[in-house]
Copies of this chain bind each other. A is one copy, B any other.
Amino acid sequence: MAKKNEKLIVQKYGGSSVANPERIKKVAERVKEYKKKGYDVVVVVSALGDTTDDLLELASKITQKPLERELDMLMSTGEQISVALLAMALHEIGTSAISFTGAQVGILTDSAHTKARIIDISAKRIIEEIKKGKVVIVAGFQGVNLNQEITTLGRGGSDMTAVALAKVLNAGTCEIYTDVEGIYTTDPRIVQNARKLASISYDEMLEMASLGAQVMQARSIEAAGKYDIPLHVRSSFSKNTGTMICKEGKDMEDVLVRGVALNKGEAKITVCDVSDKPGEASRLFEGLANAGINVDMIIQNISRTGATDISFTVSSADLTKVQDVLAGLKNKIGTGEIKLDKEIAKVSVVGIGMRSHAGVAAKMFKALASKKINIDMISTSEIKISCVIKKSDAETAVKVLHDAFELDKPGKNKK
C-alpha cells in the first residue's frame, strides 16, 4: 500500500451538519481552520437535512414504483445542492474551493441503481485542484456507471464516498462529522451514564451498526476495515475528540464488552407445523431470499410430532413482503398457522474480547433474569450475543446490561 499523506485529510459532513445555510457556514469555518493549519482538505457532503426525504415524497406523489434509474437521477440532486453551497460559503470567507458531482470526479460504480458499489475513482481531477491550493468538495452518495448513468450508493452512502476517497488519495485522516459526539457504549438517550468510547474496532462497530446503532453505514465500516482506514467519528457542533474506529490493538482485546446495542426495528414470524422432512425449511428460506428479504435470526423448535415450528426475525419494513411470500408457499409446503409478533426487541452485547473468553453469555442471561426479562431467541457470533425480548422490556434490558458489564467505567469490564 502507498504511504499515507499525513497532510491530506478527508472530512465527511452528514445531512444534519449542513441542514441550513447557518450550519453550512459553520462547516466552512471548520474547513478553513484545517486549511490554515496546513492541511489539504477534501470534503464529502450529504444532502441538506431533509432534502432526501422531500425528494422521495415528491416522487411518491407521481408513482409508487419509481424506476430506480430515475430515482437516482432525482436523489443525486440533493448532494449537488450541498456541494455548491459549501463552495460558495468557503469562497465567501476567502478560502478557495471547488465543488464536484460524483460523475465529475469519476466515481465509477456498478449499475445497481439505488445501492451501487464503487468500482474505481479517478483521482486525477481532485489532485489537480488540491495542487492549486483549493479545498475540493465532492458530492457524497453518488457516482456514475460506465454508461454515464447517475447511480447512488444507498442510505448512508456518503460515508462510502469518504472512505473510498481516503483510500484512493492515501489520506492521513478520514473524519466523519455527525450530530453526536462519537460512538457510545450504548444509546445515551436510554442510559444516562453511557460513555463515549475513545476507540472501537471495525468488527465491533460493524456489529453495533448492524444491530441498530445508526451512526455509520455498515458497508463503509467494512470497506474502511478492509483497507485499514482509521475513521474519526465526531461532532460538527463541537471541537471535542470523538471516537476512532480502527484496527483492533492488543489493549482493545482486553475489554470483554465494548457496548450494548438495541434494535427495535424487527418483527418475529413463527410458521407452525412445517413438515419435518429434509428440505422443507430450505424451501421456506429460499422463497424469502428470492424476494430479497434478509432473515436475521432463526430458531427451529424440537419436533415431537413429525412437524416443527420455525421462528425467524426480519426487518419490520419487510413484513408485508414476508406475508406475501408465506401465503404463496402455504399450499406448496403445507404449513400450519403463521404467527406474527411485532412487539419484540433485540438487545446485544458486543466486544472482541469475547472471542477468547467464556462467561459473557452467562453474565448476560443472569443480568436479564435479575429483572425478570424473558429471552425468546438467542443468536451469537464470535464477538456478540443477541437476545430477542419483549419490546416493552427493551430499555430495562439495555440499562441492566450496561450496569452488569460496568460500561460506564473505562477501566472495568476486563478479562
Contacts and interface: CB of A to CB of B under 8 A. Distances in A.
Contact of A67 (B74, B88, B149): B88
A contact face: mostly helix, strand, loop, or mixed? helix
Looking at A59, A70, A74, A87, which has the most chain B CB atoms within 10 Å of its CB?
A70
A219 interface: no
Contacts of A91: 63, 66-67, 70
B103 A87 contact: no
B62 A92 contact: yes
Interface stretch (A77-85, A232-240, A343-351): A77-85
A85 B59 contact: yes
Contact of A21 (B62, B69, B149): B62
Residue with the highest number of chain B CB atoms closer than 10 Å, among A63, A73, A74, A99: A73
A216 interface: no
A148 B61 CA distance: 33
Given A77-B77, A104-B148, A148-B104, A84 B71 contact: yes
A25 interface: yes
A73 B89 contact: no
A58 interface: yes
Interface in A96-128: 98-99, 101, 103-104
Contacts of A65: 92
B81 A24 contact: no
A272 interface: no
A247 to B, nearest CB: 37
Nearest to A98: B69
A55 interface: yes
Interface in A18-69: 21, 24-25, 55, 58-59, 61-63, 65-67, 69
Nearest to A20: B61
A323 to B, nearest CB: 25
Contacts of A70: 84-85, 87-88, 91, 99
B87 A99 contact: no
A62 B59 CA distance: 28
19 contacts: A21-B62, A24-B62, A58-B81, A59-B85, A62-B89, A65-B92, A66-B88, A66-B91, A67-B88, A67-B91, A70-B84, A70-B85, A73-B87, A74-B85, A74-B88, A101-B150, A103-B103, A104-B148, A104-B149
Question: Ordered nearest first, which 6 A-B pairs have the shortest CB separation?
Answer: A74-B84, A21-B61, A73-B84, A77-B77, A63-B92, A70-B87
Interface of A: 21, 24-25, 55, 58-59, 61-63, 65-67, 69-71, 73-74, 76-77, 80-81, 83-85, 87-89, 91-92, 98-99, 101, 103-104, 148-150
